[in-house]
Amino acid sequence: KIRIAILASGTGSNAEALMKKAQSLNSVEVTFVLSDKVGAGVLEKALNLSVRHFVVTKQSDRREHEQRVLNLLREYRIDWVFLAGYMRLLSLEFLQTFNGWHGGNSQVVNIHPSLLPAYPGVDSIRRAFEDGVEESGVTLHLVDEGMDTGPQLMQSRLPLEAGESLADWSVRFHKLEHQTYTQFLELVALGQIPTSPFEET
Ligand code: GAR
């Protein structure tokens, strides 16, 4: 099986969608969920789905923190890291070490609720809403050391409907994120990840 680790800091709705989808597929598994936050909702979701889960809290030294995460990724022979609301940046050193185990191929992906490069960072849905945009969307991308940067793999648009509230739009956002991420997981499971989007343009 292709072995996936999900890194998440918060509620974990994306992680939950991925864990459920993986449990319906033969060729992939979510080997573990890792959170940097004690008590994060994602941990309970993993528990409920009988998925192994770890907490690696913030260390005074970022390298020390990343080393602990890398140790788990190596111990469990993880093939892909899926970030799902993981609110920490990964260093170039971390990415080079992990990707180096996979022949240098970038194997860390992230989902983000905007049409990147617009609205990186936190509160992207609300900021787009408050700017009065007509549409935003969801981006799945390979992770580099920047914040929500890196080569894009998939993008789905989400228009704001007339009179739609931020709350309603957010619900549709999260559904679209879950669809996009699970679709990507299926492609990984089928070995159908196209290689061309992986090239930096
Ligand atoms: C998701 O909307 C995800 O795209 C976003 O955090 C949320 C986590 O929700 N990530 C970022 O903003 C990354 N910059 P979840 O815990 O319910 O999956």
Over the stretch 65-107, which tens digit does the pLDDT of each residue have? 999 999 999 999 999 999 999 999 999 999 999 999 998 888 9
Q: pLDDT tens across 11-66, in order?
A: 999 999 999 999 999 999 999 999 999 999 999 999 999 999 999 998 788 999 99
Q: How confident is the model at residue 196 (pLDDT cuts 50, 70, 90)?
A: very low
> 112, 148, 156, 172: which to mutate for ligand 1, most atoms within 8 A of CB?
112
The residue that leads in pLDDT, 105 or 114, is 114
Q: How many whole angstroms from 125 Cα to the centroid of ligand 1?
A: 10
Q: Is the pLDDT of residue 144 over 80?
A: yes
The pLDDT value recorded for residue 194 is: 54
C-alpha atoms less than 13 angstroms from C-alpha of 35 in its C-beta half-sphere: 21
Q: Is the pLDDT of residue 198 over 60?
A: no
d(CA 181, CA 15): 9
Q: So what's the ipTM on this one? A: 0.98
Q: How many whole angstroms from 192 Cα to the centroid of ligand 1?
A: 25
The pLDDT value recorded for residue 104 is: 86
Task: Report the greatest alpha carbon distance in the chain.
Answer: 50
Q: Does the active-site annotation cover 112? A: yes
Q: Give pTM, 2 decimals.
A: 0.95
d(CA 93, CA 145): 9
Q: Is the pLDDT of residue 200 over 80?
A: no
3-state helix, strand, coil in the chain (%, to 5): 40, 20, 40
Q: Is the pLDDT of residue 197 over 50?
A: no
CA-closest candidate to residue 36, choices 8, 78, 5: 8
Helices within the chain (DSSP H only): 13-23, 41-48, 62-75, 92-100, 124-130, 166-189
Residue ranges of the annotated binding site for (6R)-10-formyltetrahydrofolate are 62, 87-90, 110
Percent of the chain with pLDDT over 70: 96
The pLDDT value recorded for residue 201 is: 38
Place of tokens 């007339």: 162
Instruction: For residue 192, give both structure tokens.
Output: 């159908």
Ligand 1 atom at minimum distance from 121 CA: 14
Q: Please work out whether the CB of residue 109 comes within 6 Å of at least one atom of ligand 1.
A: no
Query: Any idea of the CA torsion for 89, 92, 94, 95, to the nearest 10 degrees?
Result: 100
φ, ψ of residue 5 to 5 degrees: the values are -110, 135
d(CA 25, CA 111): 21
d(CA 91, CA 9): 17
Ligand 1 atom at minimum distance from 16 CA: 18
Q: pLDDT tens across 177-186, in order?
A: 999 999 999 9
